[in-house]
Chains A and B, each alone.
Chain A
Amino acid sequence: MVVPDALAIPWRHRRLVARLARRDIAARYRGSIFGPLWALALPLAMLGIYNFAFGRIFGGRFGESATGDAPFALVLFAGLLLFQIFGDIVQSSPSLIRNNATYIKQIIFPLEILPVVAVVVALFNAAVSFAMLLVFYAVLIEAPPISALWIGVIALPLIFLAIGAGWLLSSIGAYFRDLTQVAGLVCTATLFLTPIFYPLEAVPASLRTVIGLNPIATVVEQARSVLFRSEPPDFMALALCLLGSLVVYFAGFAVFQRLRPHFADLV
């Protein structure tokens, strides 16, 4: 039963997911001098670099209609931090099974949750970045609008999409190592096919429908709308986007479960 299992299994293991995610987050900073401060410092530095490069040097600005007069760096950063949730998963999933060989060969472990853990870690990083964004928002412009709270709802399709992609790529990646190379390419391509460095309006009308099929594009567009235009999200677009993401989610789960019995032979 794909549909109920895909939802029930991660939920049943939610505590283990939380524990593993905490471990992964802590492991990243373990042994470094500044420890968890890095979690704040890195997005801060990235934001500074964007502001310098795109704000000062390019002097770029999104169309007034799209984002008001918010600095380009902030608009860019908002899109990027959301994309990064998906990007992290696409980059790490193909080698996920191989990197967790001990869980596969030596213990009885709910393997389905490995991609879920990766998504939770990516969400944590995005949340820290988002907090940084809000701070900069307040400093550079004004207090962020109340509509910014919609971001939690807007991110929902992205979470399902990322977990689904994680299941898909990790299980296929266990068979074909070449996927690791392809994934990097896919990641970059998706990044540029998503209106992150440019507003959707900049896309020729003929191509706009193609871009519109990309669920991340909808998520990014809606996030900008609630953050920088203080408008409620377009629920119709979000619902369609969620539907598409759920298809990926369930398909990913089905493929993962189908291939999973053979993982132990492959790693």
Chain B
Amino acid sequence: MENPAPQILDAQPALRLRDIGKVYRSFRRPSDRLKQLFFGGRRRYYVEHAALVGIDLDVPRGQTVGIVGRNGSGKSTLLRILCGVLLPTRGTVSARGRIAPLLALGAGFNPDFTGRENVLLNAAILGLTDEEIAERFAEIAAFAGIGDALEAPVSTYSSGMFARLAFSVAVCVSPDILVVDEILSVGDSAFARKCFARMEAIKAQGATILFVSHSATAVRELCDRAILLEGGKLVDDGTPREVLRHYNRLLHPGAAVPQSVEHRVPCTAATNHATNSDDMIGWFDPALETIDPTIGEGDDVRLLWPRFEGPDGAIRNRIRRGGRGELCFDIESDRPIEDACFSYNLRTITGIIAAGETWPARGEHLSIEAGQRLTVRFPIEMHLTPGDYFLTISVATRHEDGFLQRLGDVAAFVVESDATHEQRGYAAISVGVPRIELLEPRPDAEG
């Protein structure tokens, strides 16, 4: 593969797919394949099955793209084509840089050989020179973290150990484009976390990543962009949030139909808003809005007016850290609800649930009569790290699965930064400015 100058790399997408189509021919009998070869001009001896249809995709350098879709939607075929392992029936693929495909963990591992021998061979197969292998061996071994088992035959490994070693080798090639199929489901969660960390590191080095996963969390957490395949077609392309929502709709048809939410959910009903940005708890920012909330089907149970109220009853959506108040929403029900329970979740932009509650607890009974209206109030203190959060609320009954009504991402909140230094994560546990305490020199130290 040629190595053009970096500025050309930047201008060109790392991957460019144009009108990619893949048709599998299935022959009923092996002899049909022979007949097709000789008499193909006159007759067709196979059944065609289109796995991909007209896929156009440009992936800029450094972008991480999640590919989601149901089983058989063409995800793996697409990955194989863009790795160059499979030839498309039509269309063109152009890729710039070294591609590392992780289509299956431990492809080419020989169970009779030791971990060390397999690492050496696999690294060579992946295209590393002997010098590079020698250079990186320690790193690979350290990442796998399987200790002395490295000298034992791979056939004696647990599936977790196997996965760790295989992943370590696969990512050691410092690829320009990393292509990962659904493989991180193996191994324990700690290892999965490590793999993601490694992928984030590869991403931070400017690599382009394409990533198939059934895990919505993984796609939200890792990807800048997601595409949705359905029946071999690219049906959605956008932010992970939007695409995953679309995907969910495919998976659970009818569960969450997007409608014009605005007139059904008066998010900003005209009442008392805190407008003073010097307020100790926070204030209301009318510009802050949530895009494309989801709303459950059916309208015999309605959730209305999700909001955060300060102790003074004024509504706020920019809240200072530690700000105390109540997360409230209203319920109207045309039907009686036995053993009702209410939930809220606060999600980050990437979809991680930063906080959430369900109330009342199982075993406590709360019933709503037909025609009743009520407000649920969750008292909270906003101990989340500064950033954007999206509110999802729901009502359910302990007697049925699923929700009676659920509004996804109906309100946005910003936790205002008060910090003088960087904080990470979701929970705000810092309660002050760090300080330094000077220690006496060690008595045994020289001088």
Interface stretch (choices A15-23, A39-47, A225-233):
A15-23
CA distance A23 to B406 in the complex (A): 59
The reply to whether B107 and A102 form a contact with Cβ atoms under 8 Å apart is yes
What's the tally of chain A residues with a CB closer than 8 Å to chain B? 25
**In this assembly, does B419 line the interface, its C-beta being within 8 Å of a C-beta of chain A?**
no
Contact mask A9-42 → B, CB, 8 Å, 1/0?
0000001100110010011001100000000000
Q: When A176-B30, A176-B34, A264-B80 are in contact, do A107 and B125 touch as well, CB less than 8 Å?
A: yes
Give the interface segment out of B82-90, B290-298, B321-329, B352-360: B82-90
CA distance A104 to B85 in the complex (A): 7
B410 CB within 8 Å of chain A? no
- Cα A31 to Cα B153 with chains together (Å): 10
Q: Does A261 count as interface, using CB distance less than 8 angstroms?
A: yes
Q: Determine whether the beta carbon of A108 is less than 8 Å from that of B101.
A: yes
A106 contacts B87, C-beta separation under 8 Å: no
Residues of B within 8 A of A108 (CB): 83-85, 99, 101, 127
Q: How far is the CB of A98 from chain B (nearest CB, A)?
A: 13
Let me know if B24 and A265 touch, CB within 8 A.
yes
Question: CB of A56 within 8 A of chain B?
Answer: no
Q: Within 8 Å CB of B84, what residues of A? A: 108
Nearest CB of chain A from residue B353's CB, rounded to whole Å: 35
A262 within 8 Å of B (CB atoms): yes
Among A116-173, those with CB < 8 Å from B are none
B124 touches A15 (CB 8 A): yes
Q: In chain B, what residue has the closest Cβ to A19?
A: B124
In contact, B103 and A261 (Cβ under 8 angstroms): no
* Binary flags per residue of B17-47, CB closer than 8 Å to A gives 1, else 0: 0000000110000100110000000000000
**A176 CB contacts on chain B under 8 angstroms:** 30, 33-34
What residues of chain B lie closer than 8 Å to A31, measured between beta carbons?
A: 112
Give the residues in chain B near A102, CB-CB below 8 Å: 104, 107-108
**Which of A105, A106, A178 neighbours the largest number of chain B CB atoms within 10 Å of its CB?**
A106
A173 to B279 alpha-carbon distance, docked (Å): 78
Q: Are B112 and A27 in contact (CB under 8 A)?
A: yes
Q: Are B101 and A264 in contact (CB under 8 A)?
A: no
Partner pick for B85 among A15, A26, A177, A264, CB 8 A cutoff: A264
Q: Which of B24, B113, B125, B130 contacts A109 (CB 8 A)?
A: B125
Interface status of B63 (Cβ within 8 A of chain A): no
- Give min CB distance, B218 to chain A, whole Å: 21
Cβ of A106 and Cβ of B113 under 8 Å apart? no
Contact between chains at A20 and B80 (CB < 8 Å): no
A30/B112 in contact, CB under 8 A? yes
> Within 8 Å of chain A (Cβ to Cβ): is B248?
no
A175 contacts chain B at the CB level, 8 A cutoff: yes
B113 touching A30, Cβ below 8 Å: yes
Report the Cα distance A26→B110, complex, angstroms.
11
Residue B314, interface by CB 8 Å: no
> Whole-angstrom distance between the alpha carbons of A80 and B366 in the complex?
90
A30 surroundings in chain B (CB, below 8 A): 112-113
Query: Which B residues touch A178, using CB under 8 A?
Result: 30
Are B87 and A264 in contact, with the CB atoms below 8 A?
A: yes
Please, what's the 1-or-0 string for B69-88, where 1 marks a CB less than 8 Å from any CB in chain A?
00000000000100111110
Say yes or no: A16 contacts B87, CB within 8 Å: no
Q: By the criterion CB–CB under 8 Å, are A23 and B110 in contact?
A: yes
Quick one: CB contact mask for A89-107 with B, threshold 8 Å, 1 for yes? 0000000000000111111
Distance in Å from the Cβ of B112 to the closest Cβ of chain A? 4
In B94-151, which residues have CB < 8 Å from any A CB? Answer: 99, 101, 103-104, 107-108, 110, 112-113, 117, 120-121, 124-127, 129-130
A105 B110 Cβ-Cβ under 8 A: no
Whole-angstrom distance from the CB of B75 to the nearest CB of chain A?
A: 15
Provide the bound-state CA to CA distance between A177 and B30, in Å.
9
Given the contacts A107-B101, A108-B99, A262-B87, A16 and B125 also touching, CB distance less than 8 Å: yes
When C-beta atoms are compared, the residue in chain A nearest to B129 turns out to be A15
B87 and A23 within 8 A (CB) = no
Contact residues, A56-104 vs B (CB, 8 A): 102-104
Q: Mark A251-267, 1 if CB is under 8 A from B, else 0.
A: 00000000001101100
A105 vs B81: C-alpha distance when bound (angstroms)? 10
Contact status A106-B101, CB under 8 Å: yes
Shortest distance between the CB of B77 and any CB in chain A (Å): 10
CA separation between A20 and B123, bound complex, in Å? 12
Residue of B99, B107, B124 near A103 (CB, 8 A) is B107
Q: Which residues of the other chain, A, contact B130 by a CB distance below 8 angstroms?
A: 15
Complex contact A23–B107 (CB within 8 A): no
A residues near B125, Cβ cutoff 8 Å: 16, 20, 103, 107, 109
A23 to B123, CA, bound (A): 14
In the complex, the answer to whether B85 meets A261 with C-beta atoms within 8 Å is no
Shortest CB-to-CB span from B128 to chain A, Å, is 10
User: Within B368-401, which residues are at the interface with A (CB < 8 Å)?
Assistant: none
Chain A positions 178 through 210: 1 when the CB is less than 8 Å from some CB of chain B, otherwise 0: 100000000000000000000000000000000
**CA–CA, A19 and B30, complex, Å:** 35
How far apart are A29's CB and chain B's nearest CB, in angstroms?
10
What's the least CB distance linking B415 to chain A, in Å?
Answer: 45
B101→A105 contact, CB < 8 A? no
CA distance A102 to B80 in the complex (A): 12
**Which of B30, B85, B120 is A106 in contact with, Cβ under 8 Å?**
B85
A-B contact pairs, 20 of them (CB 8 A): A16-B124, A27-B112, A27-B113, A30-B112, A30-B113, A31-B112, A102-B108, A104-B85, A105-B103, A106-B101, A106-B103, A106-B104, A107-B85, A107-B108, A107-B126, A108-B127, A176-B33, A178-B30, A264-B80, A265-B25
Closest 4 CB pairs of A and B: A106-B107, A261-B87, A102-B107, A106-B103
Known: A15-B129, A178-B30, A261-B87. 11 other contacts (CB 8 A): A19-B120, A26-B113, A104-B85, A106-B107, A107-B126, A109-B125, A175-B33, A176-B33, A264-B80, A264-B87, A265-B24
